[in-house]
């Protein structure tokens, strides 16, 4: 069967600010959310595409994705994990049994190469995530931002999305997850439930838009390309 894509777009983008949450703003010529929706739609391995949005932005989302066929909308929840869980339950209700990819709308520049690496890795693992090695020096700081002990960088990775799983794996991981207060992602939930999640090579282009500056940087790059 074809793989499912869950694209979570129900956040409020509080760190970025602005009139509408970041995932609805335009980057590289189209609404941020539309970039990853189209990438999944173009890839032959993907079937159900589920976009998770807050009720308050349902109408705006429908407008921004006008003309895009083959997507299903699911209502978001209070936290990211709740938004993901609503989409997992939607797939559970369809008795979906394929692979499920979970992606942040806030990471618009998804490539088919990353999707292929994740699909390949799932042939021999419960889950797979794109990861990149940390390259900067790392340090703890005390409460006044004063440099304190160094943190060994070797063996540390930055984890991106999409995070890919066999559907039963992520469904079971979400159903059994109970330490509500610990911020976590889907891969960590799967790991905590006893599943094996592997790294594949990530992609710098998959960086998440988090702060207003991330939009400024993007505009700067676009300007450079036209020089
Ligand atoms: N997300 C979601 N539902 C939530 C919270 C987050 O679907 N209740 C989604 C966001 O829309 C985003 C992704 O999860 O695509 C990653 O979250 P983050 O970058 O933290 O986005 P926001 O939560 O919207 O931003 P902030 O934390 O600054 O408010
Ligand atoms: Mg958030």
Q: What is the mean pLDDT of the chain?
A: 95
Ligand 1 and 80: CB distance under 6 A: yes
Residues 119, 189: Cα–Cα separation, whole Å: 20
pLDDT at 117: 98
How far is the centre of ligand 1, averaged over its atoms, from the C-alpha of 63 (Å)?
Answer: 20
**Ligand located closest to 12 CA:** 1
pLDDT at 50: 98
pLDDT at 225: 66
Tell the residue nearest (CA) to atom 7 of ligand 1. Answer: 10
pLDDT tens-place string over residues 175-205:
999 876 677 899 999 999 999 999 999 999 9
- Would you list the domain boundaries of the chain? 3-225
How far is the centre of ligand 1, averaged over its atoms, from the C-alpha of 207 (Å)?
Answer: 14
Average pLDDT value for residue range 42-61: 98
pLDDT at residue 1 tops 90: no
Ligand 1 and 83: CB distance under 6 A: yes
Q: What pTM does this model have?
A: 0.96
Task: For domain 3-225, give the CATH superfamily.
Answer: Spore Coat Polysaccharide Biosynthesis Protein SpsA; Chain A (3.90.550.10)
pLDDT tens-place string over residues 31-51:
999 999 999 999 999 999 999
pLDDT at 183: 73
How far is the centre of ligand 1, averaged over its atoms, from the C-alpha of 11 (Å)?
Answer: 4
Task: Identify which of 107, 91, 225 has the alpha carbon closest to the alpha carbon of residue 171.
Answer: 91
Query: What does each C-alpha distance from 62 to 8, 69, 128 come to in angstroms?
Result: 15, 11, 31
Task: Identify which of 36, 98, 85 has the alpha carbon closest to the alpha carbon of residue 185.
Answer: 85
Predicted-assembly ipTM surpassing the 0.90 threshold: yes
Average pLDDT value for residue range 5-19: 97
Ligand 1 and 76: CB distance under 6 A: yes
**Ligand located closest to 185 CA:** 1
């Amino acid at each position: 069967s074809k793989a499912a894509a869950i694209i979570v777009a129900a956040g409020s983008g509080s760190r970025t600010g602005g009139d509408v949450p970041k995932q609805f703003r335009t980057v590289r010529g189209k609404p941020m959310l539309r970039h990853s929706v189209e990438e999944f739609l173009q890839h032959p391995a993907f079937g159900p595409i589920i976009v998770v949005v807050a009720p308050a932005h349902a109408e705006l989302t429908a407008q921004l994705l006008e003309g895009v066929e083959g997507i299903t909308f699911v209502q978001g929840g209070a936290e990211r994990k709740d938004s993901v869980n609503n989409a997992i339950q939607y797939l559970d209700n369809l008795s979906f049994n394929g692979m499920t990819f979970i992606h942040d709308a806030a990471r618009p520049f998804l490539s088919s190469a990353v999707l292929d690496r994740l699909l390949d890795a799932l042939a021999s693992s419960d889950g797979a995530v794109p990861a990149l090695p940390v390259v900067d020096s790392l340090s703890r700081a005390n409460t006044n931002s004063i440099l304190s002990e160094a943190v060994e960088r070797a063996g540390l990775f930055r984890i991106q999305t999409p995070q890919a799983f066999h559907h039963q794996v992520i469904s079971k991981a979400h159903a059994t997850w109970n330490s509500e207060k610990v911020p976590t992602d889907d891969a960590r939930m799967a790991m905590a439930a006893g599943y094996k999640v592997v790294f594949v090579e990530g992609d710098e282009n998959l960086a998440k838009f988090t702060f207003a500056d991330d939009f400024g940087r993007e505009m700067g790059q676009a300007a450079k390309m036209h020089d």
